[in-house]
Chains A and B, each alone.
Chain A
Amino acid sequence: MAIRYSWMSPRLALVPAIVITAVAFVGAIGWTLYISFTKSRRFPNYDIYWENFWRQYKRLFNDPNWDTAINNLIFMTIGSALAILFGFILAVLVNKEKTGEGVFRTIYLYPLAVSFIVAGIVWRWMFNPVLGIENFLIELGFENASFNWLADKDTAMWGVIIAIVWHGMGFYLALMLSGLKSINDEIWNAAKLDGISPWKFYTEIVIPMLKFTFLTCAILLSLGVVKTYDIVLAMTGGGPGTSSWTPAYFVVNAYATRGNMGYASSAAFMMLLITLAIFLPLVLLTRWQVKRRAREAV
């Protein structure tokens, strides 16, 4: 009896997870793809638009707002990469300095506990031209100081990037710190004995050793950027005009504001393709890493 139960029970216990995966993930993705080919507008309509099968996708690629969203995605990915760079530099310094490591890490990381909505509201307040930092700088004597970035479509995304870097820097610092700590003590000592310059030591030994950590950070960052919605809404509301739209913002706007399910679904499916394009290297790299470790173990 006991053996029969021990065969059944774990499988029964997995049923909820399997159902959720099948319905809410696999099924829902297929459903989204299906809706994107139908005549659905505000309400779902399951007739496929055979006469003009690619209609929503053609519209999407001709939509200047989608172009803006994709451009902003690329721009934000490059800009927010500063968070990884700062995170690494700070991790190296914190790791070297040791004094106050816990306190520094706690301070650098706290923004991550704050929601994007709150973060966006605070940053928008600091960017306020009359009462915010700009006014503070002018009072300090910098007459030409201009910190009203969010009101200008050329600089609005920079404002958002600053807030994203502030929010995420501590996260990358924490990852880099655990990466640095996983480097063998003997390597540090050997480097010290050899008298290698710190610059050479970090660029030629440490960074190559941490390349997997760097890649993980880069992929997590890009995946985070694809999902960016809340902070844009809180800081710029997508504006000025539509200049700070992101793909995630585009999808929610198409669904909730324009009320077009089919259009929103086509954009959402493109988001999935972008995610896969970023994600695939991670999967392949992990596989490769596992294989390499297995080989080394032999």
Chain B
Amino acid sequence: MSNIDISQREFKHYPEKKRKIKGSSIITFIFLAMIAVAVMIPLYVIIVTSFKTLDQITLGRIFDLPTTWTFEGWNKAWSEVCSGMTCNGVKAGFFTSIKILIPSIIISVGLASVTGYALALWKIKWAGGFLFVLFICAFVPFQVIMIPLVLITAKLGIYGTFWAVAIVHGVLSMPFLTLIFRNFYKDIPPELISAAMMDSGSFWRIFGEIILPMSGNIIIVVLILVITGVWNDFLIGLTFGGFGAQPMTVILANTVITGTGAVRYNVDMAAALLTAIPPLLVYFGLGKFFVQGISAGAIKG
């Protein structure tokens, strides 16, 4: 539960009595602000470039604001840009990504929460050993198991569909997400479960009536990890989507990186920004949980 400790400590710092403002403190603040500006530069560049006209871009002043703001780049990126032989913009990829995302979420969260719950709260002798195996699996690079997974999905007849991409996402994230759920559930007092069992509660009833209602926070953390992870993935979509189920990142890469013909930087940047908007919205909307999620992943993973 180190997460909760952390957030509580944060609050503890704020009500300190008003400090005197010192010179060194101002310098520190200015330094931190300068770094913040530097970190923001790529986001700023991508936004202003996407609104510029191509004529202004060819003048070469990358940091200037657009002289005339235009949505031309955005329109072209959304519905006209070409990926391979088809020219439907990144829009097609957007809907494919959504189609991949929904089953991925259901598979990942369903699988990991039930597994984590069983391992954390039920007496199973080999739970420790299995957790250790999961811990190691969580760190196996995707490339190591890529080829067998391609062969398996091809055998199952789902290769090249969004199902393959979604299922592979669910499978690959299972060890890591299970560890997160397990670490959350293991702090639930065992008396609660014993009492519920005395009450003739079964495994699934306890899960549905007691455990799930308690898991709001951890589910949000996991949702953020899954949504940003699946949306930002490139290689799994490229490998398992074939031509029929290319997610947004793959369409984006096809149009910008391997695209032929005249380079239209405003369209490229608009396409990149469109791809980045969903996870950025999740991040700026649920930032607190995002921080919890990554520290949960790193410290306990």
Contacts and interface: CB of A to CB of B under 8 A. Distances in A.
Interface residues of B, number: 97
A20 B171 contact: yes
A111 B60 contact: no
Contacts of A27: 148
A175 interface: yes
Interface string B119-151: 100101000001001111101111111111101
A206 B46 CA distance: 39
B202 A2 contact: yes
Given A114-B280, A135-B62, A119 B42 contact: yes
B158 interface: no
A10 B203 contact: yes
A121 B2 contact: no
A257 B205 CA distance: 51
Given A131-B57, A216-B299, A18 B130 contact: yes
B163 to A, nearest CB: 15
B272 A28 contact: no
Given A29-B144, A31-B148, A174 B295 contact: yes
Contact of B299 (A24, A115, A169, A178): A178
B85 interface: no
Contacts of B197: 2, 6
Given A14-B115, A248-B143, A135 B257 contact: no
A230 interface: yes
Contact of B144 (A32, A107, A122): A32
Contacts of B118: 10-11, 13-14
Nearest to B268: A121
A182 B269 CA distance: 41
Task: Pick the most buried of B29, B32, B57: most chain A CB atoms within 10 A of its CB.
Answer: B32
B200 interface: yes
Contacts of A182: 2, 5-6, 9
A26 to B, nearest CB: 8
Given A27-B148, A174-B294, A272 B231 contact: no
Interface string A211-226: 0000010001001001
A218 to B, nearest CB: 12
A190 interface: no
B141 A230 contact: no
Contact of A17 (B2, B60, B178): B178
A29 B197 CA distance: 40
Contacts of A164: none
- Interface band, chain A: 35 or more
Interface stretch (A60-68, A90-98, A151-159): A90-98
Interface stretch (A47-55, A74-82, A262-270, A290-298): A262-270
- Interface residues of B, dominant DSSP: helix
Contacts of A18: 130
A271 interface: yes
A88 interface: no
Interface in A1-38: 2, 5-6, 9-11, 13-14, 16-18, 20-21, 23-29, 31-32, 35
Nearest to A264: B147
B291 interface: yes
Nearest to A163: B42
Nearest to A90: B35
Nearest to B206: A6
B139 A275 contact: yes
Given A17-B174, A18-B130, A166 B290 contact: no
Contacts of B147: 31-32, 35, 255, 261, 264-265, 268
B36 interface: yes
A166 B39 contact: yes
Given A97-B32, A237-B257, A106 B287 contact: yes
Contacts of B152: 23-24, 28
Contact of A271 (B137, B141, B149): B141
A20 B9 CA distance: 39
19 contacts: A2-B200, A5-B203, A25-B175, A31-B148, A35-B148, A90-B32, A99-B29, A103-B36, A107-B39, A110-B43, A118-B272, A121-B268, A131-B57, A132-B62, A135-B61, A175-B298, A230-B234, A252-B235, A272-B140
Interface of A: 2, 5-6, 9-11, 13-14, 16-18, 20-21, 23-29, 31-32, 35, 44, 90, 93-94, 96-101, 103-119, 121-123, 125-126, 128, 130-133, 135-136, 139, 166, 169-171, 174-175, 178, 181-182, 216, 220, 223, 226-227, 229-230, 233-234, 237, 247-248, 251-252, 255-256, 261, 264-265, 268-269, 271-272, 275, 279, 283
Given A14-B124, A248-B143, 4 more contacts: A31-B147, A104-B32, A114-B279, A230-B249
Closest 5 CB pairs of A and B: A9-B203, A115-B232, A113-B283, A28-B145, A28-B148
